[in-house]
Structure 1
Amino acid sequence: MEEEGGGVVVRAFDRERDCEGVEAVERMCEVGPSGEMTLFTDLLGDPVCRVRHSPAYLMLVAETSGPEREIVGLVRGCIKTVACGKKPHRVGAPARHQTPSPIYTKVAYLLGLRVSPSHRRKGIALRLVSRMEEWFREKGAEYAYMATDKDNEASVRLFTERCGYSKFRTPAILVQPVFAHRLPVSHRTQILRIPAADAETLYRRRFATTEFFPRDIDAVLSNPLSLGTYLAVEPGFRWAGIEAFLAAPPESWAVLSVWNSKEVFRLEVRGASRWRRGLARTTRAVDRALPWLRIPSVPDLFRPFGLYFLYGVGGEGRKGEAMVRALCRHAHNVAREGSCGVVATEVAACDPLRRGIPHWVRLSCAEDLWCVKRLAEDYSDGALGDWTKAPPGPSIFVDPREF
């Protein structure tokens, strides 16, 4: 896979010779909120770590073709099968057959597009995206999507005006710092850790028709980076197995799973002023010395830190929001034991459980923009129609392998 034009070659990433050049481009293309501080992502020496847990993945680089070759651009992509809707009930079908069935489609995710500042406005980003889309089509992907900050005008213009993508979903990224003290979990909630096999059954029975639900959820849950699935129920509830739970679920319950992104990448906030660093250091010192005060201390985000990602967030009942809050507090305590700086999750903008997820607005993103494009001419999702035109649902399943 190699294509040349304009003095630049677009080809597949070669681990033996490209790591240093890719890291240099990543450093030059630090991303984050505008202003004083910048968020830098360290991929821990593995440029493909953010996609290699997916069923199929590829990384492309753009390299100058002169005598002194230099990597000046890169992009990553992966492919999986996800739910894009649900089949209608059969008229007259018995009640036991009324559970909605998902409509699956093969979807590609494009991420990590970078071009060196000195080589921008030369069509390199467009060539990288186009070549990646060719690979998507070769692998049978029916749709491609990407995520970007809604305020990143250059990225939005590239994809919507030149690459044929349309704005699709605006989920929220919610980030909570991990404090030096433990967070108390309400005594009105009981937290259970359930086996991966039971978690798979629960997700498939209750969330399989959620947009972007991965058909290989078993591979996600059994991955070593998945640290466990936790269920919140009322005190006194006795777990008798997943089948008993699904046959007679409690009035209110909630679930989420924890993914160890710390082993995939590290983050670092750069450019903070001395007084910001000093203030954060002071809050941590007081929190460690007087943990019973439960001061909302600022973790050390100015050196490389890891995060735990909360995925598969869902629940039912009038107490579902409170139970999600209890689960997030428990996940915070798990992350504290894992020496993480933050916990994060991503949910649909209209998800009713969103209010139960604690987060700091300054660290979060209220609208992460997802853009989508239809790739193939023949589709297997005839019962759905064109997914790119489907209205948003109440929830969305964010695959932790792609966060």
Structure 2
Amino acid sequence: MSDSVENKVVIREYNEDRDIKVVGKLERKCEIGTNKKVSIFTNMIGDPLSRIRFYPVHVMLVAELRENGELVGVVKGCIKCVGTRFGASYVRLGCILGLRVSPRHRRMGIGFELVKSVEEWLIGNGAHYTFLATEKNNVASTNLFTSKCNYMNFTSLVIFVQPASLPVRGLSQDIKIEKLQADQAIYLYNNKFRSKDMFPTDVDAILKEKLSIGTWVSYFKEEEWISLHNNEDIVTKTPSSWAMFSIWNSCDAYKLHIRKV
């Protein structure tokens, strides 16, 4: 740490008994907003570790002011094994998420120290790489990770949102939608993932977890997907155009509040 930050802040592991309420308040102070009219807040339903608890190797670090013990920052880290198309059987990937610094204590280097501390923890626990996701228009976060921490842009993720209360549009009569068995979904996902630079190796655990609602495929009726209903290889006889999606019951893990200011 730089002397100025080191003299003011200590980084330590999260203590559930003493920190749970304070971390909850800090999360609410750091609501994410892409503009002044809309903000997104992740409600952890009383469990700040909910996003990482199911990973065998995980940690939460907090930043605390030395002078009065005020908790002013938090970051989470976990390790997952992922596959690659580059020959290695798997890679231990360190994930950094939930970086938060109290609005009153930003631009002091606290976020940087939290990142370096969680990186050290991840590497010490066998991570080959570390990665994170941030919003494209979050300039402060992008500058922190690319300019100060030497991260590079690996890929882009697009998240689509639609209110569930909107009227359901009529489906085309030419489209058929079918629910897959868990083993069929696992087989299809693993087959498609093989060509990706990096992909999860625990799809079976994800789709068989109790919060997994199911996986569906859609395709044109005129190209009947016969192999879905027999013992044939469903991959070698796919329609010319098809899509699949899975639904996860995230409501029992955390809630997203979209607020208009």
TM-score for the superposition, normalised by structure 2: 0.88
Paired residue for 1:208? Answer: 194
For residues 160-199 of structure 1, the aligned pairs below 5 Å read 160-199=146-185
Question: Mapping of 1:226-305 within 5 angstroms?
Answer: 226-235=212-221, 236-238=224-226, 239-241=228-230, 243-272=232-261
Amino acid corresponding to residue 267 of structure 1 in structure 2: L
- Counterparts of 1:30-69 in structure 2, within 5 Å, are 30-66=31-67, 68-69=68-69
Instruction: Give the alignment of 1:127-166 within 5 angstroms.
Output: 127-166=113-152
Q: Is the 8 A contact 1:198 1:242 kept in 2?
A: no
Give SS of 1:172's match.
Answer: coil
2:29 aligned partner = 28
2:34 touches 2:137 (CA, 8 Å); kept in 1? no
**Partner AA of 1:63 in structure 2:** E
Matches within 5 A, 1:41-120: 41-66=42-67, 68-87=68-87, 104-120=90-106
Going from structure 1 to structure 2, the CA distance change for 1:200 and 1:185 (only over 3 Å counts) comes to same
SS in 2 for 1:173: coil
Q: In 2, distance between residues paired with 1:241 and 1:43?
A: 42
Could you say what secondary structure the match of 1:166 adopts?
coil
State the shift of 1:22 in Å: 0.4
Q: 1:139 to 1:209 in 2, by over 3 A?
A: farther
Residue 151 of structure 1 aligns to a residue whose secondary structure is: coil
**Counterpart for residue 16 of structure 2:** 15
CA contact (8 A) 2:75 2:114 kept: yes
Quick check: 18-27 or 244-253, which moved more? 244-253
Distance 1:244 1:151, change over 3 A: closer
Q: Matched residue of 1:183: which SS?
A: coil
**Post-superposition offset of 1:201:** 1.5
In structure 2, distance between residues paired with 1:217 and 1:135: 26
Q: Distance in 2 between matches of 1:48 and 1:207?
A: 28
**Structure 1: distance between partners of 2:78 and 2:57:** 5
Number of aligned positions between the proteins:
254
Q: Take 1:250 and 1:122, find their aligned partners in 2: how far apart are those partners?
A: 56
- CA RMSD of superposed structures (Å): 2.2
- In 2, the alpha carbon distance for the partners of 1:221 and 1:77 equals 23
Partner of 1:144: helix, strand, or coil?
strand
Query: Alpha carbons of 1:249 and 1:178: their partners in 2 closer, same or farther (altered >3 Å)?
Result: same
Alpha-carbon deviation of 1:163? 1.2
Q: What amino acid does structure 1 have at the position aligned with 2:69?
A: R
Q: What's the offset of the Cα at 1:117?
A: 1.8
What is the aligned-residue identity percentage? 39
Give 1:241 deviation, angstroms. Answer: 4.2
**Deviation above 4 Å: which 4+ runs of structure 1?**
none
- Once residues 46 and 141 of structure 2 are traced to their aligned partners in structure 1, the CA distance between those partners, rounded to angstroms, is 26
SS in 1 for 2:187: helix
Is contact 1:81–1:214 with CA below 8 Å preserved after alignment? Answer: yes
TM (normalized to structure 1)? Answer: 0.58
2:19 partner SS:
helix
Separation in 1 of the partners of 2:166 and 2:220?
Answer: 28
- Structure 1 unaligned runs (5+)? 88-101, 273-403
For 1:126 and 1:237, the matched residues in 2 are separated by 52
Question: Displacement, 1:132?
Answer: 0.6
